[in-house]
Amino acid sequence: MKAVYWRLIPLLIFGLLVFFLWRGLSLDPKSLPSVQIGKPLPEFELSILGKKNVQFTPSALRGQVTLLNVWASWCAACTDEQVFLLQLAREGMPIYGLNYKDNPDNALQWLVEWGNPYQLIGSDIDGKVAIDLGVYGAPETFLLDKSGVIRYRHAGVIDAAVWADEFLPRIKKLEQLT
Amino acid sequence: MSLCFRIVIFLWLCSVSMFAMSNSLYPLETPKQEAQFSHLLRELRCLVCQNQDLVDSNAELAKDLRAEVYHLVQEGKTDSEITQYLTARYGDFILFKPPVKAITAVLWFGPATFLLLGFFIFWHTCLKRTRDE
């Protein structure tokens, strides 16, 4: 009986290895966890795209559940989610923009061509605020609660499936909190 | 002058000018700071092209992070302060060498554990059996 027990150990280890390697196949190394979750937005003061002498600060996002979308006119994937963001904005979701390492003229032109779902857009020309946020590629979208704390980060394009699976349940919960 | 020799000279000049260029891009006051800057860049991962370090990568983000590390080195920050600054923003994934934590315990101690386990099983199945016989 004891000998049988010992001989099962390699099989057990093999089974464990198979389990972990199988899991590894379906993991996406490009989707990194954000360490910003649970932290308030970093302090920043950016000029607002298209406006002079007005500053965009984290206080603009307080008081309601909001999205902060990192985009740029050079980012091809950003055009993919633009139609969906416009639809969200029409449905009343407050979306703020962070224009990441972009030329303001190109950005404004892009908004004319593709539509503007944003309430306000901060112009992060040198990408400093993006570094503070841990952004590693556009588009990225942060979900913020009423007090301006980051609750979720999605790297990549938002579509209806991502919205329904990842954002809506979280937004519902955050709306209930005061 | 043989062609081969000329090529060697040409390549040498290229590498020298490259070296001069990298120095003029990120000039630092002391050789110590330069050493710190270059070894930090080797230990930090570019998050866009994930198997390249910050020295190798030409991604925009890598350029920004290089500049960020450069400013921190210039300010006289220590290695741990600089890595803390970056991991606070990008997480441990930016380090090529993961820190020893509960979550990385299997990574750090797994190989030794499995080796010991292997020896143990070997001892049990083979050595003990011959002795019993």
Distance CA A69, CA A163 (A): 13
pLDDT of residue A69: 95
Q: What is the pTM of this model?
A: 0.79
Residue B131 in this model has a pLDDT that exceeds 70: no
- The partner residue sitting opposite A29, judged by closest CB among B50, B88, B114, is B50
pLDDT of residue B29: 85
Q: What residues of B are in contact with residue A7 (Cβ under 8 Å)?
A: 125
Answer whether residue A147 is part of any domain: yes
pLDDT of residue A29: 77
How far is A136 from chain B, CA to nearest CA, in Å?
Answer: 6
Higher pLDDT, A68 or A176: A68
pLDDT of residue A50: 82
Distance CA B97, CA B45 (A): 10
User: Confidence band (pLDDT; 50, 70, 90) for B103?
Assistant: confident
How is residue A147 written in tokens? 């007090």
Distance CA B55, CA B63 (A): 9
pLDDT of residue A17: 93
The reply to whether residue A29 touches residue B87, judged by beta carbons under 8 angstroms, is: no
Answer whether residue A28 is part of any domain: no
Residue B111 in this model has a pLDDT that exceeds 70: yes
CB contacts < 8 A, A to B, total 45
The position carrying tokens 């007090």 is: A147
The reply to whether residue A35 touches residue B64, judged by beta carbons under 8 angstroms, is: no
Specify the CATH number for the domain of residue A46: 3.40.30.10
Query: Going by C-beta distance under 8 Å and a sequence separation of 6 or more, which residues neighbour residue B92?
Result: B98, B99, B101, B104
Count of domains forming chain A: 1
Average pLDDT over residues A111-119: 93
**Chain A: residue whose CA lies nearest to B118:** A10
pLDDT of residue A78: 92
User: Confidence band (pLDDT; 50, 70, 90) for B49?
Assistant: confident
Average pLDDT over residues B36-46: 91
Mean pLDDT check: name the lowest of A4-18, B6-20, B66-80.
B6-20
The position carrying tokens 């040198």 is: A126
ipTM above 0.85, yes or no: no
Answer whether residue A2 is part of any domain: no
Answer whether residue A16 is part of any domain: no
Query: Which segments within A39-171 are labelled E, that is strand?
Result: 46-47, 55-56, 66-71, 95-100, 121-124, 140-144, 150-155
Q: What residues of B are in contact with residue A132 (Cβ under 8 Å)?
A: 89
Note the pLDDT tens digit of each residue in A5-53: 878 888 998 999 999 999 989 888 777 888 889 999 999 999 998 887 8
Note the pLDDT tens digit of each residue in A52-106: 788 899 998 888 999 999 999 999 999 999 999 999 999 999 999 999 999 999 9
Residue B14 in this model has a pLDDT that exceeds 80: no
In a 13 Å sphere around the CA of B28, the CA atoms on its Cβ side amount to 20
**Which chain B residues touch A if contact means CB-CB below 8 Å?**
47-48, 50, 60-61, 64-65, 68, 87-91, 93, 114, 117, 121, 124-125
Residue B19 in this model has a pLDDT that exceeds 70: no
pLDDT of residue A9: 83
Residue A169 in this model has a pLDDT that exceeds 80: yes
Higher pLDDT, A104 or B130: A104
pLDDT of residue B20: 47
Answer whether residue A19 is part of any domain: no
Query: Going by C-beta distance under 8 Å and a sequence separation of 6 or more, which residues neighbour residue A165?
Result: none
Domain extent at residue A56: 36-176
B77 burial class (0-12, 13-18, 19+ CB within 10 angstroms)? middle
- The partner residue sitting opposite B90, judged by closest CB among A7, A29, A136, is A136
User: Confidence band (pLDDT; 50, 70, 90) for B23?
Assistant: low
